A and B are shown apart, each in its own frame.
Chain A
Amino acid sequence: MGTIALLILTIAAIIFSAGGILVSRLFTKGSINTQKGQPYECGIPTTGTPWSQFHVGYYLYAIVFLLFDVELVFMYPWAVVVQKIGFPALIEMIFFIMILFIGFLYAHKKGALKWM
């Protein structure tokens, strides 16, 4: 099945969502007024655009995550075979994790992992 299964699932999801939205298009009609399209902010007109830049804290998480994610990717094949290989694999992994952990500790110490 493979790719075809994925294809079917994707199409099913699209049909499902599109069907629902289509039905709602068919059966509803909205009233129109000038305030309707404006962003909701507790009933007060907004000031400024929301699309302004954010604080640095948000993306440092992403960076640290990304690097850990890569690490994870290497762990999967390792995990599968570690039982067979035994301690050498464990030691390799301990090294691997240790090295990354240094980075993690560094990030921690630098305060990169603080939400701002």
Chain B
Amino acid sequence: MMQQITLQHILLLSTALFFIGVFGLLTRRNMIAILMSIELMLNSVNINFVAFNKYLYPEKLDGVFFFLFVITVAAAEAAVAIAIIIHLYRYNKQIDVSETEEMRY
């Protein structure tokens, strides 16, 4: 019989997810792909928030609110990041990190 799922399991999962994101961040060179990796990492953080909230402090909802705010920030970040990426793309036709070093912003 498998054991009851505890906070640990969820945290392990989120850790794994976080490092998957890190892996992507390190290996990807395409900026959109990097953005995607970052989203994954943010998600793992979100999982943590929510899980802590649920398992440790269920009386209050702070974790959920943090989740909401993180997600808001993620959305805003994605919007701006993509605007930048597209602008960069139009500026020099490709969006590999290594070749966009001389960004002029």
Contact = CB atoms under 8 A, between A and B. Distances in A.
Interface of A: 53, 56, 59, 63, 66-67, 69-70, 73-74
B75 A70 contact: yes
Interface stretch (B2-10, B41-49, B76-84): B76-84
A69 to B, nearest CB: 7
Contacts of A53: 89
Question: Majority SS of interface residues in chain B?
Answer: helix
B86 interface: yes
Contact of A69 (B75, B83, B86, B89): B75
Interface of B: 68, 71-72, 75-76, 78-79, 82-83, 86, 89-90
A56 B86 contact: yes
A51 to B, nearest CB: 15
B78 A66 contact: yes
7 contacts: A53-B89, A56-B90, A63-B79, A63-B82, A69-B75, A73-B68, A74-B68
A47 to B, nearest CB: 21
A67 B86 contact: no
